[in-house]
Homo-oligomer: A and B are copies of this chain.
Amino acid sequence: MISTPDGAAPRVRRTATRLADGRELFYFDASEPYVSGGATRSMIDSRVPGAAPSSGSMRYDLLTGEWVALAEHRMDRTHLPAPDRCPLCPARLGREPGEVPAEDYEVVVFENRFPSFHGPPDGGPTTIDGEGLWPARSAHGRCEVVCFTSDHDAAFADLDPGQVRTVVEAWADRTAELSALAGVEQVFVFENRGEEIGVTLHHPHGQIYAYPYVTPRTIVLLDQAERYAARTGGHLLTDVLEAERRSGTRIVSSGTHWTAYVPVAARWPIEVHLAPQRDVPDLAALDEAERSELVTVYLDLLRRLDRYQPGVDRLPYIAGWHQAPVHERRELGRLHLQVFSVLRAPGKIKYLAGSESGMGAWVNDTTPERIADRLRAVGP
């Protein structure tokens, strides 16, 4: 059983096991008969173990001050397999075993077979070519896969609220556990959806990266929040949310605990932020009422997104949870979800070409107000 922050009865039973190559796997089941965690339906991973995941390395880019992970082993990762060979589907007789050794499951999380970050921290930095300019170290940390449902053909937006609630519990559980790992500095829970953004497995799933550093995007945010606090005494993310609520112009939906809005300087053709009303650092810190309402507002948001582009039933999107760093300047972080799409029109993609990819200089072909208008117009 996993604990809840407010001491309420746990909503979900977690059952831990290991795959043949030693990777950890966790079933999350909402209620009896615990379809996947129960002894009758789950089994031992019968595959001949392949090589256990290995750590790549990472190098410090002195021109940007950022670490870049090198993960050569990922070049061979599974790429758009046929539906009957989906490694995320439950085990079935006569079918090649996949990653999940159970005949059915509700939600399952396991260590990625092709991780960008893996293992405990090593002994510290080395240098490339003996040059002090070029530090390197192991790309430690952990990458996990979250299967949102055993139904290969579903989408997150199709799930029923009870199922989504189980996903939320899994996210919170994994955030707490990964944050406690030695060497982990930030936990990023996200979903890539759609071939347009490079998804290589269609089965509805998300990922979790436990990074060995605070990510570049977050460093920038923390720097901004620190300057803002010094200048105004306020909390940047809290004040931005309050200003959005005051203005109302770009609010997509709001409940008692959550507000969805298009940020005033949206850089993607479609972009929405979803933030809790209360200052919380991460998913693990959400209370019962917040988790419950999150299910509703998130499903509402995803369904609006799927109706955004005429003729596009399933919008490609990236949904990422910005969480406070585990240690560094944690008090300046604040949980918020950023959902965005590269689809600027049906059949037309916003590419990150020279200006964005080369210079980091963004040009959006629409306005935040138009995005919000459309998301309101398509209805819940």
Measured between beta carbons, the chain B residues less than 8 angstroms from A357 are: 197, 318, 340, 352
Question: Do A197 and B358 touch across chains, with their CB atoms under 8 A apart?
Answer: no
Most B-side CB within 10 Å, residue of A228, A345, A348, A354: A354
**Bound: A344/B65 CA distance, A:** 24
Q: Are A265 and B60 in contact (CB under 8 A)?
A: yes
Chain A 168-199 interface residues, beta-carbon cutoff 8 Å to B: 186, 188, 190-192, 197-199
Per-residue contact bits, chain A 337-360, to B (CB 8 Å; 1 contact, 0 not): 010100011001111111101111
Interface residues of A in 323-343 (CB under 8 A from B): 338, 340
Copies of the chain in the assembly? 2
Q: State whether the Cβ of A64 lies closer than 8 Å to any Cβ in chain B.
A: yes
Would you call A318 and B191 a contact (CB within 8 A)? no
A188-B359, A359-B216, A365-B71 in contact; A351/B198 too (CB < 8 A)? yes
A263 interface residue per 8 A CB criterion: yes
* Category for how many chain A residues contact B: 35 or more
Bound together, the chains give a CA A365 to CA B365 distance in angstroms of 31
Contact flags A44-66 to B (C-beta < 8 A → 1, else 0)? 00000000000000011111111
Contact A63–B221 (Cβ < 8 Å): yes
Q: Say what secondary structure dominates the interface of chain A.
A: mixed
> Is B65 a contact partner of A358 (Cβ separation < 8 A)?
no
Kindly state whether residue A95 has any CB partner on chain B within 8 Å.
no
- Asked, given contacts A192-B353, A215-B361, A354-B190, whether A64 binds B249 with beta carbons under 8 Å apart, the answer is no
Q: Mark A209-229, 1 if CB is under 8 A from B, else 0.
A: 101010111101101100010
- A217 touching B72, Cβ below 8 Å: no
Indicate whether A32 reaches chain B with its CB closer than 8 angstroms. no
| Residues of the B chain whose Cβ atoms lie less than 8 Å from the Cβ of A186 | 359
Given the known A-B contacts A59-B264, A72-B367, A243-B134, are A207 and B354 also in contact in the complex, defined by CB atoms under 8 Å?
yes
Contact: B366 with A224, CB < 8 Å?
A: no
Interface check A274, CB cutoff 8 A? no
